[in-house]
Amino acid sequence: MARFLIRRILQGIVVLWLITVAVFGLFFVVPNDVARTLAGRQATPETIALIQHRLGLDQPVWKQYLDFVWRALHGDLGYDYYHQVPVTHIIAQALPITLSLAIGASIIWLVLGVFNGVLSATHPRSLEDRGLTAFSLFFYSMPPFLLGILLLYVFYYQLTLRGVTWFPAGGYVPFAQDPTAWFQHMVLPWITLALLLAATYTRLTRASMLDVLGEDYIRTARSKGITERRVIYRHGLRAALTPVVTQFGIDLGQLVGGAVVTETVFSLPGLGNTAVDAITRQDLPVIIGIVLVASAAVVIANIVVDVAYAALDPRVRLH
């Protein structure tokens, strides 16, 4: 176990390092005119050169990269080009928003998906099964922004017209500041994201459950005289959950990089929105910082998935 973790963490560090190299490389392959943008239309070449010097952009790329790595190893990801705000600070602002979104939505879609999947699998080809499949496919095939805008139209616009102001149009309030407002701001984004992803989980759980329910040990369980509910949950779902947990870890890891469309529709200043802004403005330190956080999330999620896998299935040994 310890050896497994050490090996996987080292591998993760290598992956993160390769990603920084790639992002740095890309940034300098495409022509960048950050200094010119910052200096404004009428800037003299001298001003531009000065700005380039201040941002360190006049240094050779390899030197800039080494500087970056050196500082990064000390927990300093540099400053954004435009307002000189520490990148770590920007991330610390945006990450809780994205985490709020990802974790809240993931709980909803997991419960919804697994519950519907079990229901579908235990009543295959029934009305419930068909209804749930249609329901989840409907949202699955819907463009994310459309679903978000529809929810806003119904729950913000129409309700507000009728004097009900439970759901704001967008934005974010930190939990620590006002838990109720935080919740009100998060509900619609959660539902949007959850409905989009629930279909995958419904189908995954359904397929996995159908497999498991055909296993010999389910027949054994029934032959013991336990309740059918116990057969389905303690024996069936317990075994069927493994692929679901894997998928869940991967999805959650990816979401930490930002659910761009959902964040945009609901004007949530999370990592996704921040990344899009940074990319349009070619704000390299911010881009790299966010890419690092997102990649680290994926790497960690993968390790957690493997550990969870071993915890779920006693036949699996970590090594």
Partner 1 sequence: MALLEVEDLRVSFDTPDGVVRAVRGLSFTLAAGSTLGLVGESGSGKSVAVQTITRLTRGADVGGRVVLDGVDLLTANEEELREVRGARIGMIFQDPLSSLHPYHRIGWQIEEIIRAHEDIGRAAARARAADLLGLVGIPRPETRVDDYPHQFSGGMRQRVMIAMAMALSPEVLIADEPTTALDVTVQAQVLDVMRRLQEEFGTAIIMVTHDLGVIAELADDVVVMYAGAAMERAPRRELFYRYHHPYTEGLLTSLPLRGEASGRLRPIPGSPPSLIAVPPGCPFAPRCQYAFERCSITPPLAAVLADPRHQSACWLPADRPRQESAEEAA
- Residue 101 touching partner 1 (CB under 8 A): no
Instruction: For the CB of residue 226, give the shortest distance to partner 1 in the complex, in Å.
Output: 5
Q: Which is nearer to partner 1, 99 or 218 (CB)?
A: 218
Cα–Cα distance, 309 to 317 (Å, whole number)? 9
Binding mask 162-201 for partner 1 (x = CB under 8 A): ----------------------------------------
Contact with partner 1 (CB under 8 A): which of 221, 278, 284, 288?
Answer: 221
Residue number with CB closer to partner 1 (44 or 223): 223
Q: Which is nearer to partner 1, 3 or 224 (CB)?
A: 224
Q: CB of residue 280 vs partner 1: minimum separation in angstroms?
A: 49
- Shortest separation between residue 19's beta carbon and partner 1, angstroms: 36
Q: Is 123 in the site for partner 1 (CB under 8 A)?
A: no
Q: Indicate whether 223 belongs to the interface with partner 1 (CB under 8 A).
A: yes
- How far apart are alpha carbons 120 and 150 in whole angstroms? 27
| Whether the Cβ atoms of residue 319 and residue 4 lie closer than 8 Å to each other | yes
The dihedrals phi and psi of 21, each to the nearest 5 degrees, come to -60, -45
Segment interacting with partner 1 (CB under 8 A) among 33-41, 42-50, 109-117, 218-226: 218-226
Query: What amino acid is encoded at 14 in this protein?
Result: V
- The answer to whether 215 contacts partner 1 (rule: CB under 8 A) is yes
By C-beta, is 236 or 258 nearer to partner 1? 236
Residue 313 sits in the site that holds partner 1 (CB under 8 A): yes
Comparison of 184 and 242: residue with beta carbon closer to partner 1 = 242
Q: Residue 311 Cβ, how far from partner 1 at the closest point, in Å?
A: 10
- The string of DSSP codes covering 15-33 is HHHHHHHHHHHHHHHS---
Query: What is the C-alpha separation between 231 and 226, in angstroms, rounded?
Result: 7
Longest pairwise C-alpha distance within the chain: 86
The binder of partner 1 chosen from 40, 45, 216, 280 (CB under 8 A): 216
**Stretch 224-263 residues interacting with partner 1 (CB under 8 A):** 224-228, 235, 238-239
User: Could you please report the per-residue DSSP string of 191-204?
Assistant: HHHHHHHHHHHHHH
CA-based nearest residue to 265, from 124, 148, 120, 117 = 148
Q: Please choose, from the candidates 188, 286, 104, 169, the residue with its C-alpha nearest in 3D space to the C-alpha of residue 272.
A: 286
Gap between the Cα atoms of 289 and 298, Å rounded: 14
Q: Which of 3, 74, 229, 315 binds partner 1 (CB under 8 A)?
A: 315
**In the complex, minimum distance from the CB of residue 307 to partner 1, in angstroms, rounded to a whole number:** 16
- Give phi and psi for 316, each to the nearest 5: -85, 130
Tell the smallest beta-carbon distance from residue 208 to partner 1 (Å). 13
Element (H, E) at 51: helix 45-55
61 vs 226, which CB is nearer to partner 1?
A: 226
Judged by CB under 8 A, does residue 312 bind partner 1? Answer: yes
> Shortest Cβ distance from residue 109 to partner 1 (Å)?
24
Nearer to partner 1, 74 or 224 (CB): 224
DSSP string, 95-147: HHHHHHHHHHHHHHHHHHHHHHHHHHHHSTTSHHHHHHHHHHHHHHTS-HHHH
Distance CA 148, CA 190 (A): 10
Pick from 70, 138, 217, 233: which binds partner 1 (CB under 8 A)? 217
Q: How far apart are CA 25 and CA 8, in angstroms?
A: 26
Binding site for partner 1 (CB under 8 A): 215-217, 219-228, 235, 238-239, 312-315
